[in-house]
Homo-oligomer: A and B are copies of this chain.
Amino acid sequence: MKETLVHRVREMTLKNPIMVEGLPGVGHVGKLVADHMVEELQAEKIIEIYSPHFPPQVMVKEDGTIKQVRNEIYARQGKDGEPDLLILIGDYQSATNEGHYELTSIFLDIAQSFQVQRIYALGGYGTGQFVDRPTVMGAATRAELVEEMKQQGVVFHENEPGGGIIGVSGLLLGLGALRGMDAVCLMGVTSGYLVDPKAAQEVLRVLSRILGLDVGMQALEERAKEMEKIIGKLQEMERAQAPYEAGGDEDLRYIG
């Protein structure tokens, strides 16, 4: 496996779907919202994406079986006027710059093959400070989309985020625009530490309103708590595993 592998696990017909992206990032806001949507809306997995740009790693599941780290696309046919959805989630983003470009291009190819109408890239915007009033900051590929988002309560500040938008969320807009596709980035303003369910709630509220979806919020806070617990445990493990990670990399020493 020297190349990224797109593995279609199920066929589904969708009509002008909306793509929602929620890969790991600051405050895990995007991932929290997108994982939650997959669960609440009972979306079905249609594509798995494996790549040498992801860490060389498997996750161990509750039952002792493993899962190769990957990105996944779930699909859902809308009911009663709801739009059809493609939801992109995953364990990791690319570990290399080049991988971000390659994987985003693959995501856009998939979006175009489904004639996706619009992409919503979800993320967090870390302020490094306590956030008391939850807001959602935006960016978009066209001025008309900016206006439309403002109507929906999305906040736009001049030249913010100042550092631009990094990773898949940013490239979905940047490379999407080069293909003439419509894409919007919705960033929950967050302190940026661990998992921020309040920022996620606000992003979900805005996105649900825009899409005309009714997504239950109850489970979101609980899901965030669970994520936090797993991350905490994971960090603890990682400290203990440190020599092993090194072992998987450049620090493997010759021993006879």
Contact surface of A with B, Cβ cutoff 8 Å: 1-2, 7, 23-28, 31, 35, 50, 52-69, 91-98, 100-102, 104-105, 123-129, 138-143, 146, 149, 156, 158-168, 170-171, 173-175, 177-178, 185, 192-193, 195, 223, 226-227, 230-231, 233-245, 247-250, 252-256
Interchain CB contact under 8 A, A93 and B125? no
Interchain CB contact under 8 A, B97 and A174? no
A interface, over-half SS: mixed
Interchain CB contact under 8 A, B236 and A162? yes
Interchain CB contact under 8 A, A26 and B247? yes
Interchain CB contact under 8 A, A247 and B146? no
Distance between Cα atoms of A128 and B238 in the complex (Å): 10
- A50, A237, A250 interface centre (most CB from chain B within 10 Å): A237
Interchain CB contact under 8 A, A146 and B101? no
Contacts of A236 in B (CB 8 A): 162
Contacts of A105 in B (CB 8 A): 1-2
Distance between Cα atoms of A58 and B165 in the complex (Å): 5
Chain B nearest CB, measured from A177 CB (Å): 7
Contacts of A91 in B (CB 8 A): 254
Distance between Cα atoms of A114 and B25 in the complex (Å): 43
Distance between Cα atoms of A168 and B57 in the complex (Å): 8
Contacts of A247 in B (CB 8 A): 24-26, 93, 166-167
Contacts of A63 in B (CB 8 A): 143, 146
Interchain CB contact under 8 A, B60 and A139? yes
Contacts of A53 in B (CB 8 A): 97-98
Interchain CB contact under 8 A, A253 and B24? yes
Given contacts A161-B237, A245-B163, contact A64 B101 (CB under 8 A): no
Which residue from chain B places its CB closest to the CB of A160 in the assembled complex? B60
Interchain CB contact under 8 A, B64 and A139? yes
Chain B nearest CB, measured from A125 CB (Å): 7
Distance between Cα atoms of A171 and B50 in the complex (Å): 12
13 A-B pairs within 8 Å (CB atoms) are namely A2-B105, A31-B255, A35-B256, A56-B166, A58-B164, A60-B139, A61-B159, A64-B138, A66-B174, A161-B241, A166-B244, A226-B256, A238-B253
Chain B nearest CB, measured from A149 CB (Å): 8
Contacts of A160 in B (CB 8 A): 60, 237
- A168, A170, A255 interface centre (most CB from chain B within 10 Å): A255
